[in-house]
Amino acid sequence: MKTLYIHADYLEFNVKKATPVAEDITDEEKQGRFEEVLVAFISVEKRDEDNPDAVAKAAAKDIKETAETVGAERIVLYPYAHLSSSLSSPSVGKDVMRKIEELVGGDVHRVPFGWYKAFKISCKGHPLSELSREITGEEEVSKPEGKDEHFVYTLDGKMINPEDFKDGTECFQIMMKKEALHEESKLSGEPKYLRLCKKFGIQWESMSDAGHMSFSPKGALIFDLCSDYSWQTVNSTGLPVYTVKGTNMFNLDEGPVAEHAKLFGDRLYKIETEKHSYVLRYAACHQQFAMMRNWNMSYKNLPFGAFEVADSYRLEQSGETMLCFRTRRMNMPDLHVVCNGMDAAEEWFEKLDERIYQEAEKLGRDYEMLVNFSSKDAFEQHKGLISNLMKKHNKPALLHFYPEGINYYWTVNIEYHILDDMKRAREIGTVQIDIGNAHRFGIRYVDEKGKEEYPIILHCAVIGTIERYIYTLLDTAVQMEASGKVGCLPVWVNPEQVRLLTVSDVHQKRANELADTIQSNSVRVSVDDRSITVGKKVRQAKQDWCSYVIVIGDNELESDSFDVYVRSEDKNVKMTIPELIERIKGECANKPFRPLYMPRDLSRRVDFVDQA
């Protein structure tokens, strides 16, 4: 903050025109005259945003001391943008000016913020009548009461210190040691899933910031299918769902945005323009809540969900980024469930928990629960809910109690962890009860008595981020290989479901006819029509992890029965094309479909250097 103090005989001002960031004022506040006054011209700066309360406190102290020193009878606070070239956002500037006014107290007056003004001032001209200051404010950290605590909550209702708990699955033990005891073994060697990332064209983008990914056609197809599937999962819960889309950049001058942004500290991506500061969203919350505040909602409409696959940004430490798992840009399939009261919130919390577990089970995976509470009171409030979930899954839970004394916007959230090939507990799905953001954003509904109420909002990512769901798919395939099986992707998400291999050019027509039939039944099919040996084509198809492979030679020109290589079984199976189509349709039932993202004929494809 930069200030200019003038001890004056008088100050007169008149407002002329409002700027876009002008505060609302009354007619009386549009002009004023103050005599025997210390006028403090103030520029609130960008750096003050890190600790505005401390800066306001330091400024108020200095202004009062200066007024006493020069013998001023009253104080006027004058927002003045011309003392600095690095101004704070208008919202912070207004808040700091108001805070200084409150802290100075007594005969203090504040000139309106955000208005063009004409003014006259008569400086007294003594040695201390013109003073300048640069005020930083000392860091003031509000320390929460107590500290983080962890306990294992058993099925019989006991609370056990993590150091003393020796039961549970391997995943639970590893999760507990990492989260509660801060013990984690070092990794050795390159993670095996990275080989599959390379195979499917999933990589870091070297020409972007650290932690940003790019996807070649196969990876892009996998990504979009997983995104489509995330939409299907939330729309099959029985909940009315409103799908929305919005921007990824929000103005920090908006109070709710600024307040919510403070919760994420230095993990934010910020964009500065000439007039405003913006934050890149770190979930779909901003956009969905900004929309919901303008929706006319009745208790009859609740509960309902709002959904978006939101590109989200979190400034993770560059040394901690991990392809597909910990990224700076992620895509969050964010479902928010708007509930009329805590009973409804807990009911849907339990339903979403069930769906989260079901999605893991479909991949042959299992979850362990890390349950976070904002306070001990929150645990008592939701104790019955968590006990029910534990009994349903027949598992203990690791409880994490956040320090008391912090005004959290949520009460409970669960992080669902799998155990990956590297023996790491990885968080995938999440669900949370939010009691604060409806108030912050002004989201209301009308209850049975016609009274406006604030809803409770659930946050849920059923399958985790799209990137983390892909990570789970790839890690599952790696663990298949580790168990002695052939690694494969689920057929619905495999970029190439069927590949036909021609022995020579004379078999091309037959291969194309079969490919047309397969393709017309919403099955992704490619044709390897290149002038290379059949042996090389077979090896390439297996390296590409095609779900089904058929060689088209002389015997297949007239026959309707084919030897089909089935990757999931690692053997040939005799079947007709209609039987193959029906088999694939069964494997892909209730799953999304998209066509190939590259030419069907391999002879027309470019060579991707990022593929194995």
| Res 348: pLDDT | 98
Please name which of 191, 196, 194 lies closest in space to residue 489, comparing C-alpha atoms: 196
What residues does 15 pair with on adjacent strands? 117
Average pLDDT for 525-538: 97
For the chain, list the domains and their CATH numbers.
Answer: 2-134 (3.50.80.10), 149-243+281-475 (3.30.930.10), 491-604 (3.40.50.800)
The span from the CA of 428 to the CA of 360, in Å, is 9
pLDDT tens digits along 374-419: 999 999 999 999 999 999 999 999 999 998 867 678 999 999 999 9
* Per-residue b or e along 125-138, where b marks 16 or more CB atoms closer than 10 Å to that residue's CB: eeeeeebebebebe
pLDDT tens digits along 109-161: 999 999 999 999 999 998 888 998 889 875 444 455 668 999 999 999 999 99
| Res 144: pLDDT | 54
Per the CB < 8 A criterion, the answer to whether 3 and 41 are in contact is: yes
| Tokens 């690692």 found at | 570
The residue type of 263 is: L
What CA–CA distances, in Å, run from 111 to 27, 31, 392?
A: 13, 9, 62
pLDDT tens digits along 546-580: 999 999 999 999 999 999 999 999 999 999 999 99
Extract the tokens encoding 135.
């005020």
The residue type of 544 is: D
The span from the CA of 417 to the CA of 429, in Å, is 8
Please name which of 37, 215, 211 lies closest in space to residue 109, comparing C-alpha atoms: 37
The span from the CA of 526 to the CA of 65, in Å, is 80
Please name which of 193, 221, 248 lies closest in space to residue 468, comparing C-alpha atoms: 193
Length of the chain: 612
Return the ∠ at Cα 247 (arms to 96 and 257), rounded to 5°. 20
221 has a pLDDT exceeding 60: yes
Question: Among 126-135, 536-545, 593-602, which stretch is predicted with the lowest mean pLDDT?
Answer: 126-135
pLDDT tens digits along 233-261: 999 999 999 999 999 999 888 888 887 78
Our measurement of the distance from residue 386's CA atom to the centroid of its chain's CA atoms, rounded to an integer in Å, reads 24
Extract the tokens encoding 558.
């007239």
The span from the CA of 115 to the CA of 135, in Å, is 24
| Res 612: pLDDT | 41
| Res 139: pLDDT | 46
C-alpha torsion angle, residues 299, 429, 355, 261 (rounded to 10): 10
Per the CB < 8 A criterion, the answer to whether 496 and 489 are in contact is: no
% of the chain residues with pLDDT over 90: 82
The span from the CA of 380 to the CA of 375, in Å, is 9
The span from the CA of 256 to the CA of 286, in Å, is 9
Sheet-wide strand order for 270-272? 249-251, 277-280, 270-272
Residue 89 pLDDT grade (very low, low, confident, very high; cuts 50, 70, 90): confident
Please name which of 14, 26, 114, 9 lies closest in space to residue 71, comparing C-alpha atoms: 9
The span from the CA of 589 to the CA of 496, in Å, is 17
C-alpha torsion angle, residues 344, 349, 354, 355 (rounded to 10): 100
29 has a pLDDT exceeding 80: yes
Per the CB < 8 A criterion, the answer to whether 597 and 223 are in contact is: no
| Tokens 């430490």 found at | 317
What is the DSSP track for 173-239? Answer: HHHHHHHTS---PPP-S--THHHHHHHTTEEE-TTS-TT-EEE-HHHHHHHHHHHHHHHHHHHTSSS
What residues does 539 pair with on adjacent strands? none
Extract the tokens encoding 403.
């320090």
Residue 609 pLDDT grade (very low, low, confident, very high; cuts 50, 70, 90): low
| Tokens 């005259």 found at | 33
Question: Among 142-151, 511-520, 595-604, which stretch is predicted with the lowest mean pLDDT?
Answer: 142-151
Extract the tokens encoding 343.
């009973």
Please name which of 219, 414, 405, 253 lies closest in space to residue 324, comparing C-alpha atoms: 219
pLDDT tens digits along 52-65: 888 999 999 999 99
What's the first-to-final CA gap in the chain, in angstroms? 56
Return the ∠ at Cα 150 (arms to 145 and 153), rounded to 5°. 130
Per the CB < 8 A criterion, the answer to whether 279 and 261 are in contact is: yes
Q: How many CA atoms lie within 13 A of 368 on its CB side?
A: 24
